Structure 1
């Protein structure tokens, strides 16, 4: 019985480490995005969705939400994402998304530019941006 209780507590602790992610866009955008669309944007495979040009904005590797985004949304570890972008940059086939160090920077840049897309913890979202997807 103690083993099962320990396992349940471990799982609950593990789940609480991950905040709900919100992919955010400018309030003027009416996009509703799926995981595939978000992944294509952040992996450099798409520059627009439904005719709307979007520029992805990432958090730096030092921010804990970055690793969560990479794993949950992109389906890869941060080291796999870094290797992917290194290959593309080296071969001249792509440029990784610009990075900022805080969720408040993401919020400010998205709120002030209708073509930037970023992500923050769901509990950080306010009326200055619109949620296009949650994970």
Structure 2
């Protein structure tokens, strides 16, 4: 038990280091055609964790993730949902096993996430701020 706790703590510290190493701010984005202007971190976490399938205005929402192992993904979930990669894996294992949900679709990088989200007002994703353009709009800054 102590070993598992220590491993989790070390992983969390590594995620914080990755955040600093990225040096880039991340933003949660929706299509420029989406009516949503701002979301709270808990609202974003609910969508990404399959607890909500709607934006605050009632429109359908589906999350788009970065790939497993990507530093952006680790930092995003740690800061927005308070979940380390190990906790996130355990969460989705339980959700899948109990039939209560499936993890979000994955795209290989920020540019791919931006393109997909820009084309579909029902999607939400997170990208490096540097990948932001007029086709999408930020609804939450992840610091």
Q: TM-score, normalised by structure 1?
A: 0.85
Match of 2:28 in 1: 23
Match of 2:39 in 1: 33
Unpaired stretches in structure 1, ≥5 consecutive residues: 1-11
Map 1:34-73 → 2, pairs under 5 A? 34-50=40-56, 51-73=58-80
Match of 1:119 in 2: 126
Match of 1:86 in 2: 93
Match of 1:7 in 2: none
Helix, strand or coil: the match of 2:81? coil
Is the Cα–Cα contact under 8 Å of residues 18 and 71 in structure 2 kept in the other structure?
no
Match of 2:137 in 1: 130
Is the Cα–Cα contact under 8 Å of residues 111 and 129 in structure 1 kept in the other structure?
yes
Is the Cα–Cα contact under 8 Å of residues 18 and 68 in structure 1 kept in the other structure?
no
Give the greater-gyration-radius structure (CA): 1
Q: TM-score, normalised by structure 2?
A: 0.81
Superposed CA RMSD in Å reads: 1.8
Unpaired stretches in structure 2, ≥5 consecutive residues: 1-16
Distance between the aligned counterparts of 1:80 and 1:98, measured in 2?
A: 18
Q: Which 4+ stretches in 1 moved above 6 angstroms?
A: none
Distance between the aligned counterparts of 2:123 and 2:88, measured in 1?
A: 20
Distance between the aligned counterparts of 1:92 and 1:130, measured in 2?
A: 33
Pairs aligned (count): 124
Residue 30 of structure 1: CA displacement? Answer: 3.0
